[in-house]
C-alpha cells in the first residue's frame, strides 16, 4: 500500500474513533438526563401523595343524620289487645342505610395570642444618699480594723458612733488594743469613756502615710475636736510619731476618701491638742450620749519653737482690736 492509502486509512480510523466517542458521550448524557427526570417525577409524585394525605386528614365538619318523620304514638284501645308494630316505621327503619357515626373534629393545639409587653425602659437608679455612703465607708473601715486583729477595741467604739458625724474625707488614727485596754477612761463595753477621744483622732482630710511624711516636725493638724490639733513630733519613716505616739501600722485602710493608720497609744488632747488657737465649731454631731468622768484640769502645752499650725488661722485677735477701735470712736464722739 502506498503512503497516501495508509494516511487515508489512518484518518478514517481516527474519524470513526471520534464518532464512537461522541456517540458514547451522547448516550451517557441522555441516560443522565433520563435519570434526572425520573428522579424529579418520583419526587413530584411523593409530594403529591403527601399533600393528598395531609388534605385527607384535615378537619371536616360533622355530618348530621337525616331527620326522621315524627310518627305519633298509636292510640291505646280500651281492650287490652296486642297490637302489631306499625308498618311504616319498620319500613323506614329497614330502608334507612347504615351511616357511620359522626366523626369528632381533631383537637388542635391552642396557640395563645402574643403577649403585649407593657415593660417600660428601666430608668437608671438614683445615686445612694450621703448617709448611706458614710455608713458604708464606716463599715468598711470597721471590717478592715477587725481583719487586722490589733485594733478591735477601737473598732467597737466606732461601731457605736453615728456615721453622719464623719466628713466626706478624713484620716483616722486608731490606737492598738493594748492602749485601749490600759486607758483608764475606756473599756470594752464603751460605756464610760471620754466622748472627745474619737473626734480628736480624726483629721478632716485624707492623708496617707506618704502625705504625712511631707510635713515637718511640730506641724499641727486640725481635728474634728474644736480648737484641738494633732502635732507631728517625729517625721522619720522608721519612727513616725504623732503626739509622741508611734504609727505602728500605716495605711491599714486607704481609698479615695479615707486613710486609716494604727498607732501605739491613745492620743491625749489635753497635752498636745492646744487651746490657744480658735477654730469654727463643728456641725451638729451625734456622738454617743456618754457623760465623761471629771478629770484633772487640762494642761497647757507651751508653744514649741518652730511650731507650724496646719489649718485655718484664728481671727480672735482681729476681733478684739476692732472692738477696741469702736469703743475709742464712741469715746471721742461723746467727748
pLDDT digits (tens, 9 = 90+) for 168-223: 999 999 999 988 886 544 444 444 567 888 999 999 999 999 999 999 999 999 99
Considering the chain, what percentage of its residues have pLDDT values greater than 90?
Answer: 27
pLDDT band (50, 70, 90) for residue 53: confident
Whole-angstrom distance, CA of residue 205 vs CA of residue 244: 21
Q: Which pLDDT score, from 0 to 100, does residue 230 have? A: 96
Whether residue 78 has pLDDT greater than 90 = no
Range with the largest mean pLDDT of 18-22, 110-114, 205-209: 205-209
Whether residue 38 has pLDDT greater than 80 = yes
Q: What is the pTM for the complete model shown?
A: 0.46
- Nine-digit cell at 258? 479615707
Q: Provide, for the chain, the percentages of residues in helix, strand and coil under a 3-state DSSP scheme, each rounded to the nearest 5.
A: 40, 15, 50
Whether residue 37 has pLDDT greater than 60 = yes
Domain annotation for the chain: domains and CATH numbers: 130-323 (2.30.180.10)
Whether residue 158 has pLDDT greater than 60 = yes
CA atoms within 13 A on the CB side of 317: 4
Whole-angstrom distance, CA of residue 307 vs CA of residue 268: 18
DSSP 84-138: PPPHHHHHHHHHSPP-PPPPPPPPPPPPPPPP---PPPPPPPPPPPHHHHHHHHH
Measuring CA to CA, which residue among 134, 179, 137, 171 is closest to residue 154? Answer: 179
Measuring CA to CA, which residue among 220, 218, 288, 209 is closest to residue 248? Answer: 209
Summarised one tens digit per residue, pLDDT across range 237-251 is 999 999 999 999 999
Whether residue 13 has pLDDT greater than 90 = no
Summarised one tens digit per residue, pLDDT across range 302-332 is 455 555 555 544 333 334 344 445 444 444 4
Q: What is the DSSP letter of 213?
A: T
> Alpha-carbon torsion 18, 20, 24, 27, what sign?
positive
Whole-angstrom distance, CA of residue 59 vs CA of residue 55: 9
Chain mean pLDDT for the chain: 73
Whether residue 136 has pLDDT greater than 60 = yes
Whole-angstrom distance, CA of residue 232 vs CA of residue 263: 13
- Nine-digit cell at 52? 393528598
* Bridge partners of residue 174, in order along the sequence: 262
Amino acid at each position: 500500500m502506498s503512503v497516501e492509502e495508509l494516511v487515508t486509512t489512518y484518518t478514517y480510523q481516527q474519524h470513526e474513533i471520534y464518532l464512537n466517542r461522541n456517540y458514547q458521550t451522547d448516550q451517557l448524557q441522555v441516560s443522565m438526563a433520563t435519570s434526572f427526570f425520573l428522579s424529579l417525577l418520583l419526587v413530584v409524585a411523593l409530594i403529591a401523595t403527601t399533600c393528598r394525605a395531609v388534605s385527607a386528614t384535615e378537619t371536616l365538619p360533622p355530618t348530621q343524620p337525616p331527620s326522621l318523620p315524627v310518627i305519633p304514638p298509636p292510640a291505646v284501645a280500651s281492650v287490652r289487645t296486642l297490637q302489631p308494630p306499625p308498618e311504616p316505621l319498620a319500613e323506614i327503619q329497614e330502608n334507612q342505610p347504615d351511616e357511620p357515626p359522626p366523626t369528632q373534629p381533631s383537637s388542635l393545639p391552642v396557640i395563645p395570642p402574643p403577649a403585649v409587653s407593657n415593660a417600660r425602659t428601666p430608668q437608671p437608679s438614683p445615686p445612694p444618699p450621703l448617709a448611706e455612703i458614710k455608713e458604708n465607708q464606716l463599715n468598711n473601715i470597721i471590717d478592715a480594723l477587725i481583719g487586722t486583729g490589733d485594733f478591735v477595741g477601737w473598732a467597737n467604739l466606732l461601731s457605736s458612733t453615728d456615721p453622719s458625724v464623719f466628713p466626706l474625707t478624713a484620716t483616722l488614727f486608731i490606737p492598738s488594743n493594748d492602749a485601749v485596754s490600759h486607758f483608764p477612761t475606756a473599756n470594752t463595753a464603751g460605756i464610760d469613756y471620754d466622748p472627745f477621744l474619737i473626734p480628736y483622732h480624726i483629721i478632716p482630710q485624707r492623708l496617707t502615710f506618704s502625705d504625712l511624711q511631707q510635713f515637718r516636725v511640730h506641724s499641727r493638724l486640725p481635728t474634728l475636736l474644736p480648737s484641738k490639733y494633732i502635732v507631728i513630733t517625729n517625721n522619720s519613716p522608721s519612727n513616725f510619731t504623732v503626739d509622741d505616739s508611734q504609727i505602728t501600722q500605716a495605711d491599714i485602710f486607704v481609698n479615695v476618701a479615707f486613710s486609716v493608720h494604727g498607732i501605739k497609744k491613745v492620743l491625749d488632747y489635753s497635752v498636745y491638742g492646744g487651746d490657744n488657737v480658735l477654730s469654727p465649731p463643728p456641725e451638729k454631731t451625734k456622738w454617743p450620749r456618754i457623760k465623761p468622768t471629771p478629770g484633772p484640769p487640762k494642761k497647757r502645752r507651751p508653744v514649741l519653737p518652730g511650731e507650724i499650725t496646719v489649718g485655718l488661722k484664728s481671727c480672735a485677735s482681729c476681733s478684739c482690736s476692732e472692738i477696741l477701735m469702736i469703743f475709742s470712736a464712741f469715746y471721742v464722739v461723746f467727748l
